[in-house]
Amino acid sequence: MRKEDCFYLGNIVKKHSFKGEVVIKLDTDEPELYGNMESVFVDLGNNLVPFFIEKSSLSKGTALRVKFEGISNEADADAMMRAGIYLPLDLLPKLSGNKFYYHEVIGFTVVDTNFGEVGELVFINDKRVAHPLLEVERDGSTVLIPMIDDFIKKIDRENKVFEVETPEGLIDLYLEN
């Protein structure tokens, strides 16, 4: 399995017992959807390795305690610390309306209700920023639009259009010479 065909679910943050159990911090708003998985892919040495789950239990919000098949002691669990956990993209629950996965809207045309067509959504930056930013390419320039619920007006999956309504002048700031 390739990472491009998967989505990041979380990472192993600590050991839970001397019998090889680990705790996965899930990176999701709906952790209950992942409480009864049969298997996952673990990123070990830049390879996604499949692991079957013997048992799991959800605790404390987004913490999932897991006992993997074949992992039976602390040394085995130590080798997995901080490893990323992945699942195939086809296991993502379908979203509708204005809810979306970041990877799903890349390539959409961003249209502002006041400005008009802004350009192509090429990336969503959610690292070290207060609000994730839509990075939109327009004629060689990058326009950054904060991904704030009030700005997002409509996600048109059929026509691949991401409609926003930004404060007057925001987009112009990026396009002035």
Residue indicated by tokens 């050991």 = 15
Give me the chain's average pLDDT, please. Answer: 92
Domain 102-175 fold: SH3 type barrels. (2.30.30)
Whether the Cβ atoms of residue 64 and residue 23 lie closer than 8 Å to each other: yes
Q: Give the model confidence (pLDDT) of 97-133 as tens digits.
A: 888 888 889 999 999 999 999 999 999 998 877 889 9
Residue 51, CA distances (Å) to 8, 43, 44, 103, 142 in order: 15, 10, 11, 25, 41
Instruction: Map out the domains of the chain as residue ranges.
Output: 3-91, 102-175
Residue 42 confidence class, pLDDT cut points 50, 70, 90 = very high
Predicted confidence (pLDDT) at residue 71 exceeds the cutoff of 90? yes
The SS3 assignment for 149 reads coil
* pLDDT for res 86: 95
3-91 to CATH, choices 3.40.50.150, 3.90.79.10, 2.40.30.60, 2.60.120.380:
2.40.30.60
> Exposed, middle or buried, 82 (CB in 10 Å: 0-12/13-18/19+)?
exposed
